[in-house]
Amino acid sequence: MRDRLIQFLCLIIAISAVICGGKLLPDILRVSDEKSLRYTDVSIDGAPPIVALGTAIGAFRGIIIDYLWIKTIMHKEKGLFYEAMADASLITKLQPRFGDVWAFQGHNMAYNISVLTDTPRERWEWVRAGIDLVRDEGLRYNPNDLILHKELAFWFAHKIDGVSDDAHLYYKRELARDWQFLLGVPPASHKDRIAWIASVKDAPDSLEELVLKYPNVGVLVDQMKEGLSDFDSKFQFQLDKNFLSNLGRWQSVQSSRYAKLLNLDATFRKNDPVYLVFDTVLKSAESKASLEQFLPFLRKKVLREAYNMDPTLMWEFTRDYGPFDWRHPQSHAFYWSRKGSATAEKRFSNDEEVYKILNNDRVNIQSMQGLSRTGLMGFDPFASDNPSRLNDPRWIKSIDNYFGVLYRKHYGTRGGGGDSFCDFYKNFMAQAVRELYRFGDYEGAQSILSNLDRLFGRGGLIPNNEYEAPLEIFVLNTTYDQYEGAPDIARSDVYAALQHGFREGLLLDRRKILEDAVKFAADLTEYFQGSQYADFVNKFGERRMADLIGDLRSSVRDVFANVLIDSSQPLVDRLTIYNRAAESERRFVYDIVKAPLEAEFALDPLSTLAAFATLLPEPPDMEPYRQAMAAEAAKRGAEGETSKRSTAEMK
């Protein structure tokens, strides 16, 4: 009787447990979905036998994962990076929801294995592979993992946009080239960039929808497909990343200054059958109109499928924060850190892990600082030059606003979270005072200086006189002593001074302002050429300060060109500036600015009053100048080939 009673009670307990478990299961599944904690029971296709075994044995696979993880750490500590990568790869296949392993594997490729290679190209392939792994695979399995978002953002900001890696200049060129082929050259104004990304966001999601809306696009796609059908017996026509990159390369040739100087159009037509197909199909007026309808759809498709990026988020960030240029590494750093904040913070709501949110937000606002210092880009993908990277003062207001958001968010964070953003804000805004002063915006510079004095100077918690000096004295006191530690500040000061010189000095016919700006640029270039770091040459034959000094040498050309194509300024003012410039200055920029200014001129009422060639006349002796530029470009190309052969022979 006693045994039956025990059995009956056990049965009641079991039934109660099943009922309670059934009631709790929906909430458990809901929370696990929200926190991305669902355990996968499906191994990845092509996985080795150990993965299939681990999947088959269910919960015991945790033992296998622990064993592989310990083994991975041991390999790393011994410097066996390839072996560590192999074991980490097994873990990601066995348990794709293990975010730390994706971060480990990506960092191992981008940082550890990359530096073991011999050439910049090999090193870049490993850096890009690490980024691709986390962005295209890790985050697809772990879309709510804050650490993966932060790590990915940091790699863009530190590994590519930083200067610690000997091959950083190569990384910057390759990233800019890839994204210029993918998205094209962004419009100059912030308003136009918002519309530019909106066209991608609003494009149809499928080719069928696009063709239904624009039947002529279907004709264009069929023509390209037919033209490429004989390219290779194994070739499969796909509207993918490679297709868009090849199409973007064709477009870039049509507008590239160096492509014209080196006659690359004829070279590609002769040697590249894919280029020839695009050139044959897309040259007609009808095809050009269809291409403008087709490109936003293709870009949207590739962004989603090949880069795991959301065009809607790209548009929202451009609308709400600033004029992103996706050829710049810091734009990607901002995207991934901000996306991480938006999607993953709910997983770290307790005080023990709030530092993870704080670190991610630091990367976020630091990327905005990077865009302020170097975010106004110019790049010719067929030149061997580094991208020109001008300071973009439009980000000053964005950072001012976003600082307030982050300060309030982290005011109570333990460890002085809010104070860390105050330190950033003080340093950045002191730089902004100098930048606006050099730019000639004395009122804006004084406004920021007064605000700093109110918040952190005489009106601060501990009153002090750090910001009470007159504007000019403050600028002089905080200039050269910071250049060695933060050379980007020197670049931004030079560019701001030159912008002021061209706009005010020439528009108001006060040549002395421009002369002073050019002298300031020359003096600062000479200062850095005498720096102890200027002669240091890294293992790839590039000087540590070469990007800065090179930018300063070409700053007159880059800034003058940017001033002339800046559509936020009246067209008639810019044409006046051009015509008041010296012949040598006009020769610098004529071939760069002619096409965009002519397109803008065609839509302006000025076009009814005068011919474009009258308002933007070609400077004297342009042909000899072009020949000299072509010879210089050919020489640099030959030197690059010689360097590649020498490296290959050394290997």
User: What average pLDDT does this structure show over 558-587?
Assistant: 86
Higher pLDDT, residue 167 or 550: 167
pLDDT score, position 540: 59
Q: Which helix (H) or strand (E) holds 389?
A: strand 388-390
Least confident of 336-350, 378-392, 491-505, 521-535: 521-535
The chain-wide mean pLDDT, for the chain, equals 81
Cβ atoms of 16 and 27 within 8 Å: the answer is no
pLDDT digits (tens, 9 = 90+) for 120-178: 999 999 899 899 989 998 898 888 889 899 999 999 999 999 888 888 989 999 999 99
pLDDT score, position 352: 62
Cβ atoms of 93 and 50 within 8 Å: the answer is no
Least confident of 180-189, 208-217, 296-305, 517-526: 517-526
User: What average pLDDT does this structure show over 569-573?
Assistant: 81
User: What average pLDDT does this structure show over 371-396?
Assistant: 84
Which of 308, 383, 322 is CA-nearest to residue 640?
383
In order of 123, 158, 188, 197, 374, the CA distances from 369 in angstroms are 27, 13, 19, 22, 9
For the cut 60, the answer to whether the pLDDT of residue 644 exceeds it is no
Helix (H, G, I), strand (E, B) or coil at 388: strand
DSSP state of 543: B
d(CA 274, CA 175): 22
Cβ atoms of 346 and 163 within 8 Å: the answer is no
Higher pLDDT, residue 436 or 242: 242
d(CA 292, CA 297): 10
Q: The whole model's pTM is what?
A: 0.75
Query: Residue 208 — very low, low, confident or very high, per pLDDT cuts 50/70/90?
Result: very high
Amino acid at 170: Y
Q: Which helix (H) or strand (E) holds 377?
A: strand 376-378
Higher pLDDT, residue 622 or 237: 622
pLDDT score, position 38: 44
For the cut 90, the answer to whether the pLDDT of residue 316 exceeds it is yes
Cβ atoms of 274 and 243 within 8 Å: the answer is no
